[in-house]
Amino acid sequence: MSKHPNQLLLEHFYTCFQNKDYAGMQACYSDDATFNDEAFQNLDAAQVRAMWEMLIRNGKDLKLEFKDVSANEHSGSAYWEARYTFSATGRKVLNKIKASFEFENGKIKKHVDRFDFYAWARQAFGITGILLGWTPYFHKKVNSTAKGNLARFMQHKSS
């Protein structure tokens, strides 16, 4: 049985991610794509493309594994794990992520990654994450910092 083209698209996306090929990842998104996860929220296509470039350029020791990729004409899903050193603290992180996708014209139109934010915060921030990682304030602070880092990355790239 042959795989659906959208499943092949997702397998290509994650293989590019493994190979730190952000241009290959970027090409998988439609021009009106959206992205959301626990750190980066409500990104448009330009922002999501820049986010992957920023994360790959900064993630020197990033290791990625993926599995359970499935897709049909309209939607898809995958499970992936990222191992890396969180640059802000130098702490090692293993992030376990469930991804969901919506497709349009052979491209990713909507991408949502879900992970346990508190588990991530404990790893990424140590004692601070243990004490504050469960709070809405801390989550908002991480969102704000992530969006600010992305905006600076995009500004630097365009100048």
List, for residues 123-144, the tens digit of each pLDDT value: 999 999 999 999 999 999 999 9
The CA-atom distances, in angstroms, between 20 and each of 11, 12, 62, 122, 150 are: 14, 12, 9, 26, 18
pLDDT in tens, 67-88: 999 999 999 999 999 999 998 8
- What is the average pLDDT score of the chain? 96
Tokens 């349009």 -> residue: 104
Q: What is the pLDDT of residue 83?
A: 96
Reported as a pLDDT band with limits 50, 70 and 90, residue 159 is confident
Rounded to the nearest 10 degrees, the angle between the axes of helix 136-158 and helix 45-58 is 90
Helices 136-158, 117-125: axis angle to 10 degrees equals: 70
Confidence of residue 149 (pLDDT cuts 50, 70, 90): very high
Q: Give the model's pLDDT for residue 13.
A: 98
pTM, entire model: 0.94
